[in-house]
């Protein structure tokens, strides 16, 4: 059972990292579930402090993911159309990787720009607002990614520390 929890937890870690970039998946909370599954094993002793603190961080980052892009958009004079355009641009980058990894940077900006232009903003205002929306998106994505990577590091470190108990047949 421990091996199953470990593997499923690791899968949650990987999905959590993907969730840092995909707007539909809450990356850090998914990564936290992976940590939780690791602590459910008989090999790793319970540490409710670690689980509580990491859960609080995941939930704070989840809330900030909604606040930061709105702040960036508002600060640079953007509208909701720019935020929606950023999300659509991200989806285009993910499902149609025409520009490869660079597309994850370019398409959200293009989406925000198109969203602002469709919202009847002039080119200068639309570009400024698109930049703000894009900057907010990048900041939120970076925070989610960093938290998911730290959680993965905690997962691997803890699993490695208890590898003899997790894999008794390979010792």
Residue range 93-132, pLDDT digits in tens: 777 777 766 777 788 888 888 988 888 778 888 888 778 8
The pair phi, psi for residue 42, each rounded to 5°, is: -75, -25
Contact between 125 and 81 (Cβ < 8 Å): no
Residue 171 has pLDDT above 70, yes or no: no
- Please report how many Cα atoms fall inside a 13 Å half-sphere around the Cα of residue 115, on the Cβ side: 28
Listed in sequence order, the residues at least 6 apart from 6 whose beta carbon sits closer than 8 Å to its beta carbon are 37, 38, 41, 159, 166
Report the pLDDT value the prediction gives residue 134, as an integer from 0 to 100.
78
Contact between 129 and 112 (Cβ < 8 Å): yes
């Amino acid at each position: 059972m421990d091996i199953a929890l470990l593997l499923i937890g690791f899968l949650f870690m990987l999905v959590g990292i993907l969730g840092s970039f995909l707007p539909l998946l809450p990356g850090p909370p998914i990564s936290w579930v992976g940590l939780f599954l690791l602590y459910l094993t008989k090999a790793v002793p319970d540490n409710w402090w670690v689980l509580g603190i990491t859960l609080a961080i995941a939930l704070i980052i989840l809330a900030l993911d909604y606040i930061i892009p709105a702040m960036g958009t508002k600060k640079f004079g953007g509208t909701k159309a720019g935020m929606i355009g950023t999300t659509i641009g991200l989806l285009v980058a993910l499902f149609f990787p025409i520009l490869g990894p660079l597309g994850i940077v370019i398409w959200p900006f293009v989406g925000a720009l198109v969203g602002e232009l469709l919202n009847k903003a002039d080119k200068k205002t639309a570009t400024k607002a698109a930049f703000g929306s894009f900057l907010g998106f990048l900041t939120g994505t970076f925070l989610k990614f960093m938290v998911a990577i730290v959680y993965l590091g905690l997962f691997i470190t803890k699993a490695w520390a208890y590898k003899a108990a997790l894999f008794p047949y390979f010792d």
